[in-house]
Structure 1
Amino acid sequence: MKVRRQKTEREPTIALINIVFLMLIFFLVAGTLARPLDKDLTLVRTAELDTTAPADALVIHADGRMTWRGAPQDSAASFMTQLPAEARARLRVIPDRDLNAADLVRIGRALRGAGAEKIVIVTEKALE
């Protein structure tokens, strides 16, 4: 008569280790998809630059006032009538940081309705 061996139940730790290993490989590959910058490259520092707004950009203040080249603008429609046709293809808008988002969307829709083909919002990008 043969003696039956009792089967020991295996713990699923091997499967867990495999999953963690596959996740590690995935994140290593996903993290290296973008080409790294050259090691000897030094980026330009703009912290000390005295910058000004682009001259042909529509500035929208926190209270909703609009100015273009320093002159106040009554409405989006009257502003668009002043622009030449080539300037309407790509209109730059500089909103104040404290401008309500709903007001920015409302003004953007009014500009589109008045003939602006593409509206580019100029923002500040902080790298540090």
Structure 2
Amino acid sequence: MTRKCTRTEREPTIALINIVFLMLVFFMVVGTLAAPLDGKLALVRTDGIEATAPSDALVIHPDGRMSHMGAPVGSAIAFFDTLPHEARSRVRIVPDRDLPAHQLVTLGRTLREAGAGTVVIVTERGLQ
């Protein structure tokens, strides 16, 4: 009497899991976007640095007054007219946090109508 050996069909899921895991490890190692920093490198600390507005920006005070590089400016159009032509494509304004929003929106519209390509509002986080 001979016994027949019955083989059961095994699913190749373990082999598939191993291949996927190895591919994951491979792409994690190869996919490094930037070289690591030198371990002895000490980065600059910015804890005590006071942020100041960019010099080419129009500063708007809480009462609506405007200034550029410390000098008072009569209107947004007057400020825009003093800009060199290459600076008119991107006009930066630094509003005080207490300036009413409707005044800031009106100022932005005025600069766009005057010919500004983009009006960028510089915020506190952008200064740091």
Q: Same fold (TM over 0.5)?
A: yes
The question of 1:52 aligning with 2:83 is answered no
Q: How much identity, in percent, do the aligned residues show?
A: 58
The question of 1:82 aligning with 2:58 is answered no
When the two chains are superposed, the root-mean-square deviation of aligned CA atoms in Å is 2.4
CA distance in 2, matches of 1:60, 1:74: 11
Q: Within 5 A, what are the aligned runs for 1:1-128?
A: 45-125=45-125
Give 1:68's aligned amino acid: H
Give 1:62's aligned amino acid: P
Report Cα offsets for 1:41-77 as digits up to 9, x if no partner. Answer: 9875423113221110110110111101111111111
SS in 2 for 1:125: helix
Taking structure 2 as the reference length, the TM-score comes to 0.62
Across the two proteins, how many residue pairs are aligned to each other? 91
Aligned structure 1 segments of 4 or more residues deviating by more than 2 angstroms: 40-47
CA distance in 1, matches of 2:43, 2:56: 28
Describe the shift of the 1:43–1:93 C-alpha distance in structure 2 as closer, same or farther (beyond 3 A). Answer: farther
Report Cα offsets for 1:68-105 as digits up to 9, x if no partner. Answer: 11111111111111111111011111000100000000
Task: Point out the structure with max Rg over C-alpha.
Answer: 2
